[in-house]
Amino acid sequence: MARWNNAVASATELKNLRKDALYREAAKAFRRNGYHGTSLDEIAEGLGISKPTLYHYVKTKRDLLYQCHMAAAEQALSTVCRDEGITGIERLRRTTSAYVRSMIGEQSYSVIILEEKSLSPVQLSTVVHERDRFEGALISMVLEGQQDGTVLPGEPRFVVFNVLGAVNWVTKWYRPGGSWSEADVGEGVAGFVCRGLASPGVTIDGSQLLPRLPLTATMSVRKTLST
């Protein structure tokens, strides 16, 4: 019989919750100070625990960075829009918006990509493999959009690299608590990126930061750029 009707978390569940809190706190510290500028003492202090307690969950700072990257990769995959009833460009827009919000939200595991150089070769290979899965999903959306006529022609992989270049940089300039909400930034960045990829005549939803353009205005801009 389940104790307390499973109302009380088991030892395993508690450990996983603590690991989750650890990875989020570590990712936040790495984003703020960089890998080399962050100490395990600082992370332990941020969690309100002792450093010996921290060692029950992670042995080295490098391993902690690796776990943050893996958690971030899993989080990125969870943002992929899998609605097959919409166009390729709309799937890309929704995914991009959700991905941005996941990176800048309180539950983010996102770590500055340049910090991956601090990983071991084996760790880096695993992280890159997981990241390729997310990039592959985006490439599929671009291909789908090109096939259904909503995305401009172009090498899909090159397109995705440019999208991620713009999107991943959001963590460098976004500051929580300002006048821009996470939702505003997510929708705004997604709208901005996808407007540049959309075929003539395709309208992209906007946001408070990037109002939706009327179809006539969109076509007028396209015509001006092409002359």
Burial environment of residue 50 by CB neighbours within 10 A (0 to 12, 13 to 18, 19 or more): exposed
Q: What tokens appear for 169 in the block?
A: 């940089």
What is the band of 8 on the pLDDT scale with cuts at 50, 70, 90?
low
What type of residue is 67?
A: Q
Residues 83-100: tens digit of each pLDDT: 989 999 999 999 999 999
pLDDT reported for residue 132: 94
pLDDT mean over 171-200: 89
Q: What is the pLDDT of residues 127-175, one digit of tens each?
A: 999 999 999 999 999 999 999 999 999 999 999 999 999 998 888 888 8
Is the pLDDT reported for residue 215 higher than 60? no
Q: Alpha-carbon torsion 194, 200, 206, 211, what sign?
A: positive
Name the residue among 137, 112, 103 with its Cα closest to residue 34: 112
The pLDDT, as a whole number, for residue 158 is 96
Question: Under a CB-based contact definition with an 8 Å cutoff, are residues 129 and 120 in contact?
Answer: no
Percentage with pLDDT > 70 across the chain: 86
pLDDT, tens digit (0-9, with 9 covering 90-100), for 13-46: 788 888 889 999 999 898 888 888 999 999 999 9
- Pick the residue with more confidence: 213 or 184? 184
Exposed e or buried b per residue across 66-88, where buried means at least 16 C-beta atoms within 10 angstroms of its C-beta: bbbbbbbbebbeebbbeeeeebb
**Token pair 């071991």 in the structure block, residue:** 120
Q: From CA 151, how far away is CA 204, in angstroms rounded?
A: 11
**How many CB atoms neighbour CB 35 within 10 A?**
20
What pLDDT is recorded for position 222? 43
Q: How confident is the model at residue 7 (pLDDT cuts 50, 70, 90)?
A: low
The rounded mean pLDDT for the chain is 85
Using CA of residue 61, residue 100, residue 102, residue 91, what is the dihedral sign?
negative
